[in-house]
Copies of this chain bind each other. A is one copy, B any other.
Amino acid sequence: MAEIVIYRYGHRPARDKRITTHVALTARAMGAGSIIIDTGDRGIEENIVAVNRNFGGHFKVQTGVSIERFFNSLGNNDLLVHLTMYGKPIMEKIEEIKEASREKDRIVVFVGAEKVPGIAYAKSNFNISVTSQPISEVSALAIFLDRFLDGNELKNEMKGRLDINPNERGKTIEYF
């Protein structure tokens, strides 16, 4: 199965810290292997390392990879999917994306902030929308991963120093 990598474009540390953290947490919780962020941001790197330590898994984060460097790093074994409200509806394309990803080592999901340069549309194998409406890139990524992984990502079990036991009411946390 192709490894899932997220590329986050347009991250401004002062303004987007929380949104980009939500993108990263969504990617991690929903089955991606790593996130690459265009602008350097040590705070987000440390945050995700702490989440791995507490809640498990090996999700990787790398920051400071410019869009030029990112596009240069892509090869024939990568499938590039750009999430954009201007793209084709996910339900029309998801089977084609799954099929195309079978021959690839990685599926790279490009998640932009407000302004995305034309090269992202041109270079992507698929430009995909989750509703043709303004929506959060966090939600768009969640729905994309859910459809791509057929809902199996909801059964992921990662173990760290803390373990959350599902509850009807209240909280149960086990510490190891």
Chain B residue, CB-CB nearest to A153: B131
Chain A residues 85 to 122 lying within 8 A of chain B, measured CB to CB, are 85-92, 118, 121-122
- The minimal Cβ–Cβ distance linking A103 to chain B, given in whole angstroms, is 20
Task: Kindly state whether residue A77 has any CB partner on chain B within 8 Å.
Answer: no
- Mask of A150-168 contacts with B, CB within 8 angstroms, 1/0: 0101111010000011111
The answer to whether A139 and B91 touch (CB under 8 A), given A164-B132, A166-B129, A167-B127, is no
The smallest C-beta distance from A19 to any residue of chain B, in angstroms, reads 6
Please tell me if the beta carbons of A131 and B18 are within 8 angstroms of each other in the complex. no
The distance in angstroms between the C-alpha atoms of A164 and B86, with both chains bound, is: 6
Contact check, A131 vs B143: say whether CB atoms are below 8 A apart.
no
Within the complex, what minimum Cβ distance (angstroms) separates A26 from chain B? Answer: 4
Q: Is A135 an interface residue when CB atoms closer than 8 A count as contact?
A: yes
Instruction: Please list 20 pairs of residues, one from A and one from B, whose beta carbons are closer than 8 Å in the complex, sorted by A's number.
Output: A23-B136, A25-B139, A26-B135, A26-B136, A28-B133, A29-B133, A29-B135, A30-B131, A55-B134, A87-B167, A89-B166, A91-B154, A118-B170, A129-B166, A132-B164, A132-B166, A133-B164, A139-B139, A139-B142, A143-B143
Known: A118-B170, A130-B154, A138-B142. 18 other contacts (CB 8 A): A18-B18, A19-B19, A23-B136, A25-B136, A26-B139, A55-B134, A85-B164, A86-B166, A86-B172, A88-B166, A91-B154, A121-B169, A127-B169, A129-B166, A131-B153, A138-B138, A139-B139, A143-B146
